[in-house]
Chain A
């Protein structure tokens, strides 16, 4: 039995459930939007990992019977209020419940997509860039600095430069222009991250266990996922990557302990692949819907325990 932890209103979770249904792989959905309300949970640790069960009014699932877990945990904004509690108590009880659930899931020996610790490199983009680089993928020239002169020199060297937050907070990519150059002295208050702009074609890679799905994206939009909002289009096509790039993507996912990863690449006009980041909770719905690539099927097989 597969356990899916996610929100009913989340399209990606919905796709995973639909695919499991299509494949005939039995699953239970833990509605994380409501959790812990409406759910019961027991994990008991003695000498080994947790034994116990998870239940709702409609089902009960022994932890021993779980072959794989797909967890797409929701932000606070997508959680339903706990009824009859003041906000402070609700926050405290919800945090306690979430940590309890996470402790139980992390203790399971079966595949867990993905374990919490695995995704935390996403909170530090420069740290993640190091991990990417050590996995054998090229990263864009990156400067993190609180020195205005260093930033000016980097801009003079590369000409076309973007900046983005170093953490996962306010993570919006913008180009450095005259306005930003005029404000570089503010760097003395705290460092910022700059990257050389990399021209070329976006390629999104999804690794599922040992499988690799690569999608090329052609679009004039700055962010191709929202091309339609600007009246632009995005054309997505499945592509085969050179084997060394495939292998490096798999190495990267393993280095991050991610059974399922979304990796953002760009293929430059000279054919080189440059990696920007790895997403531990990829919203792959967009890519599968546009290309028909069987990402969710591969994920279903991974969760069923059919593949490593």
Chain B
């Protein structure tokens, strides 16, 4: 049995489910795996870890898991404080359960990934830099003079404006006139702001297991990043990640890292290859196990 942790209206869950179904493989889409009606028995002691989510089926019968969500508890019928508590409990238990599974898990989270989903691009910079991926200039500053200097540096390179990129959400605002910059100065009186250099049209890639899948055909200059993208996925512990690169004033730069890739961002051909890659990765162990007796015989 394959478990797809997410929602049925997620193209990724739906697509993987359909492919597994075509192969006659049992798959379930589950939004919150440890919430009722699941009956979890997770036990860790001197003998090791044993776990069962759907007794009497042991977790060893789960052949692969695709993680698309950290688990969501419907708040209907809950007092807010109690809902917050139960949500935290379910997420804590789900993380432990995933960590203990022996089957392929895409992406098997560690605590940092689990609890920092949606981390801004700046949080990925050390890893991106370590594997040699190009990065644009970013500044976090509460000093209007530093912001103005950034504006001048960009202008000197022919770029008219910067992007105000709040760290608390994924939005971005182009600062392309004096009024917009005055607004930033007003915010800076209260708190630092994150400013990034604007970029051109994004080129999207998905790393699935050890394969880089680009959205549409990309030029050689872009494909040269394939090795670094694979290295990034490895060091980040992500077997499924979406990365966008785009031209900035001095070449290409990574402008997005999304550990929960959105299939909607990709064309039909790329979607098919991504889904095929996910199913191949999920069934890898099953395939190996199936091959083994044939070799022995």
Chain A interface residues toward B at CB < 8 A: 36-37, 39-50, 52, 82, 85, 92-97, 99-101, 103-104, 106-107, 116-118, 120-130, 133, 138-147, 150, 154, 165-170, 188-193, 196
Contacts and interface: CB of A to CB of B under 8 A. Distances in A.
Contacts, number: 209
Contacts of A117: 111-112, 116
B92 A123 contact: yes
B65 to A, nearest CB: 15
Contacts of B40: 144-147, 191
A129 B191 contact: no
Contact of B111 (A85, A101, A120, A190): A120
Question: How many residues of B sit at the interface, in one of the four size bands?
Answer: 35 or more
A191 B135 contact: no
Interface of B: 34-36, 38-46, 49, 55, 84-86, 88-93, 95-97, 99-100, 110-112, 114-116, 120, 122-123, 125-126, 129, 135, 137-143, 146, 150, 166-168, 187, 190-194
A103 to B, nearest CB: 5
Contact of B96 (A47, A96, A122, A130): A130
B159 to A, nearest CB: 15
A169 B88 contact: yes
A143 B93 CA distance: 11
Given A120-B116, A124-B111, A147-B40, A44 B190 contact: no
Contact of A147 (B39, B141, B146): B39
Q: Which of A42, A118, A145, A147 has the most CB of B within 10 A?
A: A42
A127 B51 CA distance: 13
A43 B146 CA distance: 10
A138 B39 CA distance: 26
Nearest to A124: B92
B122 A42 contact: no
A120 B45 CA distance: 23
Given A127-B96, A142-B44, A190-B86, A96 B142 contact: no
Contacts of A190: 34-36, 86, 89-90
A188 B150 CA distance: 57
B10 to A, nearest CB: 24
